[in-house]
Amino acid sequence: MGWVTLVFAGLVEIAWSQSIKPTENFTRPWPTLLCFVLGAAAVYLLSRAMDTVGVGTAYAVFTGIGAVGAIVLGVVVTKDPLSVGRVAALALIVGGVVLARLTS
């Protein structure tokens, strides 16, 4: 169950990362509130996952999911540029997350 919670925490982190920009430097109250709620939810879920998944592994997987999700959404939604180097970086992150799961 810890791994399921960890994946969900990573997905919430992706939503949190996307909620930062609409706050306009935390000057808009409702987007700012949403941003804080998503951030707190992500950390709470991460802490619950750490009940059964090691701290180092859980944090690495959590940040890996968040990084890959943020980059993919940036490319798909906001048309961020996609380069060979960026694809290689994503492949390394995904490989690291998979390896962490397989070896824990």
pLDDT digits (tens, 9 = 90+) for 41-80: 999 999 999 999 999 999 999 999 999 999 999 899 988 8
Mean pLDDT computed over every residue of the chain: 94
Q: How confident is the model at residue 104 (pLDDT cuts 50, 70, 90)?
A: confident
- Give the residue with greater pLDDT, 38 vs 102: 38
For residues 30 and 20, give the distance between their C-alpha atoms in angstroms, rounded to a whole number.
11
Question: How large a percentage of the chain has pLDDT more than 90?
Answer: 81
Tell me the domain boundaries of the chain. Answer: 2-102
Using the predicted structure, report yes or no on whether residue 95 has a pLDDT greater than 90. Answer: yes
The stretches of 1-104 forming alpha helices (DSSP H) are 2-19, 29-49, 55-77, 84-102
